[in-house]
Amino acid sequence: MNSKTLRIFVALSILLMAGVIVIQYFWFRQAYNIQDRDFDQRVTSALRLVSRRVLDFNKNPNNKLLQPVERVTSNYYTVQTNDTINAKVLEEFLKQEFARSDIRLNFEYGIYDCLKDRINFKSFVCHSENCDKNDSTAHYNFPDLNIHNYYFGVYFPDKKYFLLGDLDNWFFSSTILLVVMSFFVYALMVIFKQKRLSEVQNDFINNMTHEFKTPISTISISSEVLMKPEIIQTPERLLSYASIIRKEAARLKKNVDTVLQTANIDQKIDKLNLEEVNVHDLLEELTLNCEPIFKERGGDLQVILQAENTIIKADRLHFSNIIHNLIDNGIKYCETTPNITIKTQNIGNYLVISIKDNGIGITEKDQRHIFNKFFRVHTGDVHNVKGFGLGLYYVKEMVEGHKGKIEVRSKLHEGSEFRLIIPVVVA
């Protein structure tokens, strides 16, 4: 699948998933509103009957209102009675009528007193078994509605959960939908991962082809020259071409060894020859070895040794290779004069070795992959920097083999800083 097809596929998939989510949400809201209307009708009907029963209890049947019930908010109702209200009688009537209407909810009610112009009585009524009336004292702040008449208010604190509980089927279908969408997203992630691996594989093949093709071509040309009879008459040319073949063969061998050594790096980690190593001494040796390279490029290698405890358990050869690889990368990926700073410091029981360069830098996207095997920053068909993408993979594996960790801080066109954090030998 090419990049254009994949982008179209992803865009259509996102639109499809968004459409399904919107439709599901719309129908869920519709179902909830239907449940809400049904609940309102049942509560209103039950409260009307309670109002009539209160008036009948007070022997005032001619004082009935046409619309005694008013829904103030989604879960608060008021019922006018035009007469005094007995709290115990009212509570019993509410329980009975709510039970007949299948309203299985805890509720709180308050009784308004015209003479005192305030809610004079409040109480909480439990319906569920896990509700303790003693712990559920009336706490709803019944609003002042400026109704100068006897009335009582009923508040349902758990109404929303009650309605949602009746939508179990919708929750079940939504859960199934989320699971399906999760698998779909996972499939997209796998597709992107496979595409990324394909790009890495293509880059590796292109780099390997380039690295092997040049010495093979040189050896082939040199061999053809050596096969000419007249070459015997010029021993100096014979020696020159033989030297070229030997040099290119050594280059091929080095590339093959690099791939093979990294292939069994796990075995090498198991066989590390750990000994106490003074990192400052090792860095001074590396500085002397790298000095000709920096002189050739006109660059500078600065070493700032600030750590006090510099003894670590390490394999001297492989730990030297770790530092050398990072220095080599700083040189290879620098488009100007290379300037590299190596700094050491102690943080707790760890030695921190910082290698900072002024190279081309690494994007935040590529920083997540630079330690992967065979990964190189995608450059298409351009091969201006030699390598197979094994250097940083080797560095990371070896650092972790020394019980340490490696961090990278970099910005494009602003250079990179690699920090090695290695445990020190505590005296």
Task: Give the DSSP letter string of 261-284.
Answer: HHHTHHHHHHT---EEEEHHHHHH
Q: What is the pLDDT of residue 341?
A: 94
CA 119/CA 316 separation, integer angstroms: 85
What is the four-CA torsion angle of 123, 128, 134, 137, rounded to 10 degrees? -40
CA 31/CA 23 separation, integer angstroms: 12
Written in H, E and C, the secondary structure of 375-401 is CCCCCCCCCCCCCCCCHHHHHHHHHHH
Q: What is the pLDDT of residue 381?
A: 44
Contact 255, 213 (CB under 8 A): no
CA 376/CA 370 separation, integer angstroms: 7
What's the predicted TM-score (pTM) here?
A: 0.50
End-to-end distance of the chain based on CA atoms, in angstroms? 59
Nearest to 377 by CA among 354, 360, 398: 360
CA 158/CA 151 separation, integer angstroms: 22
Phi then psi dihedrals of residue 358, to 5 deg: -115, 40
pLDDT tens digits, 152-170: 999 998 888 888 877 777 7
- Spatial CB neighbours of 245, under 8 Å, sequence gap ≥ 6: 218, 219, 222, 223, 226
3-state secondary structure (DSSP) of residue 75: coil
What is the four-CA torsion angle of 361, 367, 371, 376, rounded to 10 degrees? -60
Q: Which residue positions in the chain have pLDDT lower than 70?
A: 1-3, 61-66, 128-138, 200-208, 210-211, 255, 257-268, 270, 376-389, 427
Nearest to 57 by CA among 93, 96, 110: 93
Q: What is the pLDDT of residue 2?
A: 66
